[in-house]
Amino acid sequence: MLRRYGKTILYLAAAISMSLPIVSCRSTSSNTHTYRPYHERRNRGGDDRHDANVGSTNENVGGKKPKAESNAFVSEEWANLDIKLERHENKELYKELKRWLGTPYVYAAHTCGEGTDCSGMVMEVYQKIYGIKVHRNSAKMLEENCSPIDLDDLREGDLVFFITSSDGHVSHVGIYLKDNKFVHASSSRGVAVDDLRQNYYATHFHTAARVKKH
C-alpha cells in the first residue's frame, strides 16, 4: 500500500514540475546604455566635471580638468572626418568642420586653428555655411535661435544641446552630422567628433534642435 501511494506521489510531483514555467538563469541585464528620449535625459546629480563641461560664455570649467572619455563609438575615419559622403550631403559643412578639428579649447574664443569654445565654433560655422547669425551663448542659442526636435528627426547641421553643470541650465552645444556623430569643442581635446551614444553624452543630453531660418 505504501509503495503504491509512494509511486502516486512521485508521479504527481513530476507532473507539477513539468507544468511550472522554465526560468532561465541567464541574466537579462546589459551593459549597453539605454538611448532614452531627450526629455528623459537629464543630469540627476553626481559629478559633472568632464571635458564637455564647457562651451559658451556663461560656462565655467571648475575644478580639475576631467579625464577624457574613451571614443569607443568613433572610428578613425569619423575622428578625422575622412568619410564617404553621399551626393545629397552638405560637403561644405563637412569640409568646414574638418578645418576646425583639433582647434584647441579656449574659453570665450572663436578662431579656427587658434582657439574656440563650443558656442563660438557653432556661431562661426553657421555664419559661414548657412549665413545665419546665432547667439554666442549656448542657452540663448537654444532659446532664441532654435526649435526643439525629436531625436528621430535629427539631420545634418542640426544642433545638440547638453546640461553639463549642476545648475540645470544648458551649457554645451555641438553640430550634428549623421550616424549619431556630432562635432563640438571639448575642453580636454579641442574640437573633436563624438557619438551621442557615449555614456557621458547620452546621460547629459538635453535636446536636439533645428536653427530657425530667418
Q: Is 184 a catalytic residue?
A: yes
Q: Is 172 a catalytic residue?
A: yes
Instruction: Give Rg (Cα) of the chain.
Output: 25
Cell of 26: 541567464
Cell of 54: 564647457
Q: What is the DSSP string of 74-120?
A: --HHHHTT-----TTS-HHHHHHHHHHTTPPB-TT-EETTTEE-HHH
Options 50, 112, 118, 135, the catalytic residue: 118
Options 50, 110, 135, 184, the catalytic residue: 184
Per DSSP (E only), the strands in the chain are 110-111, 115-116, 146-149, 159-162, 172-176, 181-186, 190-195, 205-211
Options 50, 110, 135, 172, the catalytic residue: 172
Q: Is 118 a catalytic residue?
A: yes
What's the CA gap between 26 and 46, in Å, rounded? 31
User: Which residues are marked as active site?
Assistant: 118, 172, 184
